[in-house]
Amino acid sequence: MSTGEHQITLARRDEPTSTGDWVYRAEGLKASVYINRRLFQPGQSPDSITLTAADGVFRVPGAHDPDILTRRIARLEHRAAAKRAHAAACLSSAHALGARADRLRGATG
């Protein structure tokens, strides 16, 4: 498993939530951190917050874990093969029904 960063800086959104809490997020990541307004002095909140961890636990924007990607590729390939098999079965059934319809038209016509 790949390791991440030991430190990450989160930037504050311009406006607080409807409850007055602040939202911080790292550029390039789709994750947000919501911080209760009571953590800061009234009317004050920093523009950015830096979080630090002993282990490299923070994601790096644009970096992906190779193990996760390998599993995802295998899952998508399996799903594609199943869909191809289903499509082939549907096409075969459609051809059989078409042939049956042609036989029925010939018998009545």
Average pLDDT over residues 17-26: 92
Q: Is the pLDDT of residue 1 over 50?
A: no
Whole-number percent of the chain with pLDDT over 90? 51
Integer Cα distance of 17 and 4 in angstroms: 29
DSSP string, 1-57: ----BSEEEEEEPSS--TTS-EEEE-TT-S-EEEE-GGGS-TT---SEEEEE-SS--
- pLDDT-based confidence at residue 22 (cuts at 50, 70, 90): very high
Tens-digit pLDDT profile for residues 42-95 = 888 899 999 898 888 887 766 777 888 899 999 999 999 999 999 999 999 999
Q: Is the pLDDT of residue 33 over 70?
A: yes
Looking at residue 109, the DSSP 8-state letter turns out to be -
Q: Could you give the 3-state DSSP secondary structure of residue 100?
A: helix
CA 91 to chain centre: 33
